[in-house]
Structures are given as C-alpha cells and as structure tokens.
Structure 1
Amino acid sequence: MIIRHANESDYVSVIHVINDWWGGRQMADMLPKLFFQHFQTSSFIAEQDNEMIGFLVGFLSQTYPDEAYIHFVGVHPAYRRMGVARRLYERFFSVAARHGRTTVRCITSPVNQTSIRFHTRMGFSIEPGDGEVDGIPYTSNYDGRGHDRVLFVKTLPPQEED
C-alpha cells in the first residue's frame, strides 16, 4: 500500500465510490470538490496495485493555529480492518505535528459505533455533549437540525527536534 497526497483529479474517483462505500447512504454532498483543490497537503489517498483503497480529507485550522481537523475518511469495504485507516490517520498526525499542531479534532454520527470504537482506539477522547446514547455523549444539532454528532479530540505528542 502506498499513501500519497490527494490532488484535484482524485475528486472524481472518490465521489464515484463514496455512496457505495457507505452502503448506499448519500454521502457525496458532504465532500465538495473544494477539499481536493485547497487541502491537498493535508489530504491523502491510499492505493494498492494502482487502485484507490482509502482516502482521508483533512486540513490545518486557520482559526486555531494549534489545531487540525479530519473532515472525511473512507476505506474500501474489502480493505477494512487491514490498517488502511490507521495509516491514513498516522500520516495526517505527522503532517499536523510538523506544522506545529498539537490537537486533532473530528466528528461522527452517534449511531456509527464502528467509527466511535476506531477513534477511541486511535487515542481520541470523546468531548462532553448535551445528550447521550448508549453511554456515548453527543452534541445535538451540531451539523444542523437533527444532525447530532460525537465530537472527538486528540492531543498529539510533542514533535521531536531534529
């Protein structure tokens, strides 16, 4: 597996598979092309045998100079539980740390138990919210009315000096 920076032309490949990778859920609207135009240095494509098997779209916050944000991650269903997402996240953490970021944030839906388990295994903490489901705190209406989200935060270890 190789992991490379995303580029604008990757948008078509990602949008072509994104709804299928989410079991038919309509997810494409959550990932506009602008991410592939403006956040290439902090977004990645995982490939094996010249086939895209995963992607991560993230960015370095312009508002909070010590923070980075993972906006969207996807792994081909046939390659799940093989470390693809872990490697994508680790690459993002490395880029974020090299740019002086000490905090990484991301979100998921409260019903996405797989995502919640993955993020906690990756060292993310769940931030307090105003609701709770199955013992998991969430923030109501985070992404608009009826779109509750679990908010994650991870502190990156200090970057070692060369």
Structure 2
Amino acid sequence: MDIRIAPAGVDDFHRVLADHPRYWGERDLRSLHLLALVQEFGHTCLVARAEDGIRGYVFGFVTPDGTGYVHLIATREDARGAGLGRRLYTAFAKAAERHGARRLKAITSVGNSGSIAFHRSLGFEAEVVDDYNGPGLAMAVFHRGLPLDVS
C-alpha cells in the first residue's frame, strides 16, 4: 500500500482525534493535541496518508533557537512495525532543517519504555529531568543533532 507523507490540515487533525484510540490505545492524550500547532506550524505537522486513511502523524515545530521539537508522534495500531515512525521522524527532521533547525528534541514519560527505546534507536540521547512537567513530574528528555539519517 502506498503511503504518502504530507503536511497536516485541520481536517486531518479532526480525523486523528476521532480515531484517537487507534493511535494511543487506552491512553487519553487528546488534550495534548493542539490545533494551533497544525494551524501555525503546518510545515512541521505531518500525516502519513494511505487509501485507508491516516496511518500515522507527527506534530512539531521549530523553536527560535533552532530546535526541531516533536510534540507528538503516533502510528495507527495496524501500521506499527513497518518503519512508519522512522519515516515520519525523517520527514519531520527534513522539514525542520528547512526551517532552521540544527537539532531535535522530544519528551516522554519516564515509564514509556517503548518511546524511550524508539528514540534511542534513532540516535537520541536520553536523560531524566526531575520536575520537567511540574513539581514531581519527571520526564525523559531526548536530544540529538541533525541531520537525521536513519533509513
């Protein structure tokens, strides 16, 4: 099946939210999905489209200091294990570089072993930062330089 990665639009955002459990399972992360990211940073908010809908997405932006920040990345449950997450990250990294990024950053909860392993496989360094998300809310913070060549 042909999968095309392209900038996300408002309709894509609403489709992703409507199918939220197919990407995130039992975890309700809808509050982290910010339409403003798609509207204001459309060049770095991407969806992977196939005939049967959106297979995955990455929402992120480039900070003023040249960091490509990945806010969310997800693949649909029936699209996992085929390298789509890597393809999305690569597409995001290229888009971020075109907009001045020199490095990448992402965060996840310290208990999200799947995300931690995935980011490490992409060459990210990880550190646990205490109180990153508020008092008592440590997060795993990932950093790596660009370019990202993980094909």
Q: Please say if 1:142 is aligned against 2:132.
A: yes
Equivalent in the alignment of 2:50: 48
Which one has a bigger Cα radius of gyration?
Answer: 1
Equivalent residues, number: 146
C-alpha RMSD of the superposition: 1.6
1:24 aligns to what SS in structure 2? coil
Asked if 1 retains the 8 angstrom alpha-carbon contact of 2:62 and 2:100, the reply is no
Q: What is the distance in 2 between the residues matched to 1:50 and 1:40? A: 22
Equivalent in the alignment of 1:91: 91
Kindly indicate which of the two structures has a greater share of residues assigned to helix.
Answer: 2
**Closer/same/farther in 2, CA of residues 61 and 115 from structure 1, 3 Å limit:** same
Q: What is the distance in 1 between the residues matched to 2:123 and 2:83? A: 15
User: TM-score, with normalisation over the residues of structure 2?
Assistant: 0.89
More relative contact order in 1 or in 2 (CA 8 Å, sep 6+)? 2
Query: Any residues of structure 2 matched to 1:9-158 within 5 Å, and which?
Result: 9-62=11-64, 64=65, 66-127=66-127, 138-157=128-147
Asked if 1 retains the 8 angstrom alpha-carbon contact of 2:22 and 2:77, the reply is no
Q: What is the distance in 1 between the residues matched to 2:136 and 2:27? A: 16
- In structure 1, runs of 5+ residues without a counterpart are 128-137
Query: How far apart are residue 26 of structure 1 and its match?
Result: 1.4
Asked if 2 retains the 8 angstrom alpha-carbon contact of 1:44 and 1:56, the reply is yes
Cα shift readout 1:48-97 (whole Å, capped 9, x = no counterpart): 114101000010103x1x21100001100111111111000000111122
